[in-house]
């Protein structure tokens, strides 16, 4: 299991499956997630091709986060610096949540098969109801 921020450094392959409970579709994303030191922690950038159920072809998708170590926890921020959530990397399956009114985002990380790991997001709100599972494995492994 990871012990801290530095254990995540490097390039990871990512595979994401998003199950839309409202529309009934299933999307998939394949790409990479780069965890790069930025002087304060890690700059985390996901990039890949998103395959939507009704799209003629996949399109490029990307997002960035900032990971910061605070004691024995990792604080996750949006790219603009806004707080997202926090988790304890030493736990096998840490959980966290984020309210983005009117929606609720709940995550459970699973580090039990480290260095492979995954993040399971359950998102609910008046216009959102989906499950997103992202699997991470070391690039080149």
| All structural domains of the chain with their residue ranges | 5-138
pLDDT of residue 141: 58
pLDDT computed for residue 23 by the predictor? 84
Blockwise average pLDDT, block size 10, the chain, 141 residues? 93 97 93 97 98 90 97 96 96 95 96 96 95 92 58
CATH class in words for 5-138: mainly beta
Closest CA relative to residue 34, chosen from 133, 136, 114, 105: 136
């Amino acid at each position: 299991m990871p012990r801290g921020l530095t254990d995540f450094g490097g390039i990871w392959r990512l595979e994401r499956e998003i199950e839309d409970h409202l529309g009934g579709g299933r999307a998939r994303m394949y790409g990479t997630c780069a965890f790069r030191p930025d002087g304060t922690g890690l700059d985390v950038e996901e990039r890949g091709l998103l395959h939507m159920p009704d799209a003629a072809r996949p399109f490029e998708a990307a997002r960035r986060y900032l990971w910061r170590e605070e004691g024995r926890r990792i604080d996750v921020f949006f790219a603009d610096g806004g707080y997202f959530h926090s988790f304890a990397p030493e736990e096998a399956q840490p959980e966290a949540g984020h309210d983005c009114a009117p929606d609720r985002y709940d995550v459970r990380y699973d580090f039990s098969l480290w260095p492979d790991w995954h993040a399971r997001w359950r998102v609910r709100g008046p216009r959102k109801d989906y499950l997103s599972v992202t699997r991470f494995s070391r690039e080149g492994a």
